[in-house]
Structure 1
């Protein structure tokens, strides 16, 4: 069973997934899958975004790509058109490989990318906007967090697709308890 874990920036998706891993469940991260996919389309990226997205030894500078695409909705759309089919392909491969067990994929853009149909269940992690912005600002800075948040669908839209709602508005103990309850329901 493939379970998609989604939620807006700073909601606690990754923390929930770390708890799932600690409980022994396989978790795959769409961001990591996406970074690997970039290497499959290096030529297309060079053609589209130029040589500035590459480091000296030909490695892809994912931070540079992020700064480019998150400052331009058109460029973000272009990048997603290039990478999302590859990410979906890998998620489908994971679903097939782990068809006899419960496996999770964390994807902030699960709904935005239209990957709901490839998940057997969807978990939506909710946190109040103020909490999310504060959490994510520690990693991305306030301006970047607000920009990324503005590109995501509101919770009211995502709720339509959720089979489970995790309210991450308390402490880590509360999130851990909800994780255990979720696992009991899924097994």
Structure 2
């Protein structure tokens, strides 16, 4: 049996409505808050199939090409600072995200955090299978179509054949826009 819902699932997990779900590592603090005082929980790597692909994503740090040269130099220095091993390790330990470079795993802050909380290293088991979302300008729209298709079927709004036909037509429309 499956349960489908839009939005975040930490609250219904904390209420015991669902016993497990797949989410981003950034949601850990919310799960801890929802389950606090109710039960112990843990996490595991995302299940993989034959392809062993696991979706990874992140937020970008960018530099505008229209910036003045001194602004570009300052931006570059700041970017180098942000991804330095000590700073990315500190950021990761304090946000729940992964550090952006492997060398951060050798820092004192990361090693101490991992010793105190071995759960932070579980997501690292999936790095070698990490795949980024496709680089299509319409990727978000296609993801939404697939999500809607799945939710409509699970919630009994349409039968699977209708859901797939509708999604197929919408995805083809978006792909046509992509490849004009």
Under a length normalisation based on structure 2, what TM-score does the superposition of the two structures give?
0.26
**Which structure's CA Rg is the greater one?**
2
Query: Comparing both chains, which one has the higher relative contact order based on Cα–Cα distances under 8 Å and sequence gaps of 6 or more?
Result: 1
